[in-house]
A and B are shown apart, each in its own frame.
Chain A
């Protein structure tokens, strides 16, 4: 099997600046206070993903999931170590893809597709599918600034999911969609996995991860704490506790439990 994602000792650190202006800096220095802090959002993470694997990525808030995803998608570059991928990557990072709020949905659709590496011909070929999937009706020619968060998510997801990709990544992509849309997305993501596209999926919902993924990575404070079987990983995270039911008010094995609804 071909290696699709290869992450070697990747570390990404962020600087927290407490002060920005010279005056504040000088004052802080004079008083002996800290002017900035450095922490590793992703700390020495190593793993590799083979072709056709569906990887779930879980962890508490602030554990570095999104940062790791950004490293894999190429939005960010690691400070040390390396992140290598093969083929075209598509997907969504956080809710609502990168949109230019001044442009209409249609223009953003083309722009997004172009950023994901699609040519004009390819975009035109997929145009109807994307529009159907996003189901925006007359809002397609409205500026995205006036979109609801749900509409933005639908458009972003519709573009991303219709790109022919080799690696598909999704980060809480479905959190703001309504239920029919989530179902539609879930179906589509299942198809993606079945077609053999490599999937990298971040979620807080154990049910969705269990359904979709064949392997689970768990991050803890930026470090890779678990890598292996999905059920064991969920147990490791203690996400299968009883209080799971309190959150959702339903059984934990219901067909579409969560799907990212529990943010």
Chain B
């Protein structure tokens, strides 16, 4: 027998006078500004995604340390021990891992964003939510999962005698800003494209494969210069992820070497900061354009899901 509790009386939300003062609007507000305005909902989506990631696992959040650590060991063994790539470079392991942190943040933002709408079908088809919310939340989830990796990186760097310098910190911030914005722009575009054609999910996966090899992570930037010479080396730098990885190398790796200025002089391009700044602005423009495209295409998302 169901007990019927006596519920509190229904309250009207607004008095007739208040209602009259409210504007007649389209029932759902959209856009990135709306996402910022509804931070509480965003926070909840992020928290839920983080929680469900390791749901049912015995080790739980430990996995977010274990997985990158294992991947790092694998790469390290392959390049340092087997091939001997790191022979000419000081602290190659840090070089590799710093790059991995950035690439991981990017790939998770990009791939997560691409799947964001499709995976939240049950919410999107029934409730009015600003749909930009989902790619943005994936970016924040990726950022959250990058924290343990940065912690490992800082720990290793401090062991090697790294002390943070202001210019290096600026480089780190710029690097993450480029990655976050660029990943978000791609996430927005691919999330909505993926609704129309699921092929885009596969395209995103394929593209992220390239990222591993197109950034100075498993090899130094100098190698590109040595092997391919000038025109190609500058094309290489057009890749925002290459720039972001170079910035994080400046932030962590060069500081762990015996002569940071010398290392930076050899292994980093000259105008690193100018490029970083320009790239951040370009990434910002990409986000704006991506949002425009997103809002044009998303009108038909619920029925296509």
Query: Using a CB–CB distance below 8 Å, which chain A residues touch chain B?
Result: 2-4, 6, 14, 51, 70-77, 79, 82-89, 93-94, 96-103, 107, 110-112, 114-116, 119-120, 129, 132-133, 135, 162, 164-166, 178, 180-181, 184, 188, 191-192, 194-197
Contacts and interface: CB of A to CB of B under 8 A. Distances in A.
Contacts of A100: 48, 52, 120, 122-123
Contact of B123 (A79, A87, A115): A115
B41 interface: yes
A188 B2 CA distance: 16
A76 B5 CA distance: 36
A83 B13 contact: no
Contacts of B27: 71-74, 83-85, 89
Given A70-B302, A82-B26, A87-B19, A164 B9 contact: no
A177 B265 CA distance: 71
A195 B41 contact: no
- What are the nearest 8 A-B pairs in CB distance? A74-B28, A74-B27, A74-B128, A98-B126, A98-B123, A164-B13, A84-B24, A114-B41
A3 B20 CA distance: 8
A193 to B, nearest CB: 9
B159 interface: no
Interface string B23-34: 111111000000
A64 B132 CA distance: 27
A154 B24 CA distance: 31
Given A98-B126, A129-B8, A191-B9, A86 B44 contact: no
A195 B127 CA distance: 24
A86 B19 contact: yes
Contacts of A75: 28, 124-128, 302
A166 B7 contact: no
B4 interface: yes
Contacts of A97: 126-127
A77 B13 contact: no
B88 interface: no
Nearest to A17: B304
B67 interface: no
B59 interface: no
Dominant secondary structure of chain B at its interface with chain A: loop
Contacts of B40: 114, 119-120
Interface of B: 1-5, 7-14, 16, 19-20, 22-28, 38, 40-41, 44-45, 48, 51-52, 55, 120, 122-129, 299, 302-303
Contacts of A51: 16, 19
A30 to B, nearest CB: 21
A111 B7 CA distance: 22
B127 A115 contact: yes
Given A51-B16, A196-B12, A84 B26 contact: yes
A119 B37 CA distance: 12
B24 A85 contact: yes
A135 B19 contact: no
B44 A111 contact: yes
Given A74-B128, A196-B12, 13 more contacts: A3-B24, A74-B27, A75-B126, A79-B299, A85-B27, A93-B127, A111-B41, A111-B48, A115-B127, A135-B2, A162-B7, A164-B12, A166-B13
B25 A84 contact: yes
Contacts of A162: 7
Contacts of A132: 5, 7
A155 to B, nearest CB: 13
Contacts of B44: 110-111, 114
Contacts of B129: 115
A204 B9 CA distance: 28
Nearest to A196: B12
A197 B126 contact: no
A85 B19 contact: no
A145 B269 CA distance: 53
Nearest to B304: A15
B122 A101 contact: yes
A93 B51 CA distance: 27
A101 B120 CA distance: 10
A259 to B, nearest CB: 16
Contacts of A165: 13
B10 A86 contact: no
16 contacts: A84-B26, A85-B24, A86-B19, A86-B25, A87-B22, A93-B126, A101-B122, A107-B51, A111-B44, A114-B41, A135-B2, A164-B13, A180-B4, A188-B7, A191-B10, A197-B10
A188 B11 CA distance: 11
A195 B299 CA distance: 34
A164 B18 CA distance: 14
Contacts of B124: 75, 98
